[in-house]
Amino acid sequence: MSAASTPRSSTAPVAQAGEASRVRARSRRRPMPPLLRNTLLWLSVASIVVFCLFPIYWIVNTSLKTGPQLSSGALWPSEPSLRNYRSVLDDGDFLLALRNSAIVAGSTTFLSILVGSFAGYALARLRFPRKTLLLGIVLSISTFPVIAIAAPLFKLWTDLGIYDAPYGLGLIIPNLVFSLPLTIFILTSFFREIPRELEEAALVDGATRMQTFTKVVFPLAAPGLVTAALLVFFFAWNEFLFAITLTSTPEARTVPAAIAFFTGSVRFEAPIGTISAASVIVMVPLVVLVLVFQKRIVAGLTAGAVKG
């Protein structure tokens, strides 16, 4: 199995020990002077860090500039100020967007895990005909261009009266459907990793199939559930096309849509300062999640990418 497998994290120290011995073996042979090798390595590590983080530094830098500093292009703010943050947080529309995003992303995640774990379990464990076809249909949804769904949904949602529904409620179902393939895919792989014997033991002890699922499989699949939940949350927090097609007022807009339509809160000043502050604010929760759950996230992203 791939990096998605549950026991993987526990084997990481072993892998590192293996690498250490490999490096020892390599330096015995001296294919490249160790000093040169290390310098090259650290140079490449440093350039990766700069490549990935410099734009983030730039947006933080811009968010701390005000007035004429904003049009200087300077690499650091000459008089750093938190005024942009204050005006963003005083902006009622931005707070509404944060609220809507929390509701949409939270509900999408919960429902996707609930519905997706049922399907994942069936696909991983139960025997029924035409399973390949079913899985193919589910996965093919994730190749659909969202615009091809958004156009008719715009019309349908208008007819049903849930276009521009408050709290972004009209966005939950479309987000759910587009997150399901990913959830089902990850959970199917995780459910497969759970030893069948445990379930069989429960069945022999008289548990029903449903009890086996809720009491044995579900708790054991917790790492997989966390992984899938994180990826779905990121997806729903990031989703943009449905958000701008199916909403039109601040009451319903989520963060990405609000940021894209942000006109700035300080009059007669380039809006880029306040937009940058808003961007930093919405980035913080995700960066924290990434730092805390990096192993789980990588496991989910690479699930299925490698034949183990």
Partner 1 sequence: MSTITPSSTAAGPGPGDRPPPPRRRGRRAPSYGRSERRLAALLLSPSLVLIGLVAAYPIGYAIWLSLNEYSVRVPGLSRFAGLDNYEAAFAGGFWDALRNTLVFTVASVSLELIIGLAMAIAMHHAFRGRGLLRATVLVPWATITAVTAITWRSIFEPGVGFAPQLLAKVGIAEDVVWLGERGYAMSVLILADVWKTAPFMALLLLAGLQVIPEDVYEAARVDGATPWQRFTRITLPLLMPAILVALIFRTLDALRVFDLPAVLTDGSNGTNVLSLLAYQELTQNRLLGLGAALSVLTFAVVMIVSFLYIRFVGGNIRTLAKD
Site for partner 1 in 198-257 (CB under 8 A): 200, 203-204, 209-210, 231, 234-235, 237-241, 244-245, 255-257
Q: Which of 87, 108, 279, 296 binds partner 1 (CB under 8 A)?
A: 279
Q: Residue 270, interface with partner 1 (CB under 8 A)? A: yes
Cβ 221 to partner 1, closest distance in Å?
A: 14
Residues 66-95 that bind partner 1 (CB under 8 A): 70-75
Residue 64, helix vs strand vs coil: coil
Q: Residue 166, interface with partner 1 (CB under 8 A)? A: no
Instruction: Check residue 262 and report its DSSP letter.
Output: -
Residues 131-160 that bind partner 1 (CB under 8 A): 131-132, 134-156
| CB nearer partner 1, residue 48 or residue 222 | 48
Q: Residue 172, interface with partner 1 (CB under 8 A)? A: no
Q: Residue 284, interface with partner 1 (CB under 8 A)? A: no
Q: Residue 284: how many CB atoms within 10 A of its CB?
A: 10
Q: Cα(130)–Cα(118) distance, rounded to whole angstroms? A: 17
Q: Residue 121, interface with partner 1 (CB under 8 A)? A: yes
Q: Of 80-88, 123-131, 163-171, 219-227, which part binds partner 1 (CB under 8 A)?
A: 123-131
Q: Of 25-33, 82-90, 161-169, 221-229, which part binds partner 1 (CB under 8 A)?
A: 25-33
Smallest CA-to-CA distance from 216 within 226, 231, 206 is with 206
Q: Residue 266, interface with partner 1 (CB under 8 A)? A: no
In contact, 84 and 274? CB cutoff 8 Å = yes
Counting every residue written for the chain, the total comes to 308
Q: Which of 51, 92, 161, 267 binds partner 1 (CB under 8 A)?
A: 51
Q: Cα(108)–Cα(176) distance, rounded to whole angstroms? A: 5
Task: Tell me the CA distances in angstroms from 51 to 46, 48, 55, one per residue in order.
Answer: 9, 5, 8
Q: How many residues bind partner 1 (CB under 8 A)?
A: 134
| CB nearer partner 1, residue 22 or residue 86 | 22
Q: Cα(172)–Cα(168) distance, rounded to whole angstroms? A: 7
| CB nearer partner 1, residue 95 or residue 139 | 139
Q: Cα(117)–Cα(225) distance, rounded to whole angstroms? A: 8
Cβ 284 to partner 1, closest distance in Å?
A: 11
Q: Residue 165, interface with partner 1 (CB under 8 A)? A: no
Q: Which of 168, 181, 224, 264 binds partner 1 (CB under 8 A)?
A: 181
In contact, 70 and 273? CB cutoff 8 Å = yes
Q: Which of 216, 269, 282, 296 binds partner 1 (CB under 8 A)?
A: 282
Q: Which of 14, 24, 25, 268 binds partner 1 (CB under 8 A)?
A: 25
Q: Cα(168)–Cα(258) distance, rounded to whole angstroms? A: 12
Q: Of 55-63, 77-85, 161-169, 221-229, which part binds partner 1 (CB under 8 A)?
A: 55-63
Helices (H), the chain: 8-29, 34-63, 83-89, 92-125, 131-140, 146-160, 172-193, 196-204, 209-211, 218-220, 222-238, 241-245, 255-260, 272-302
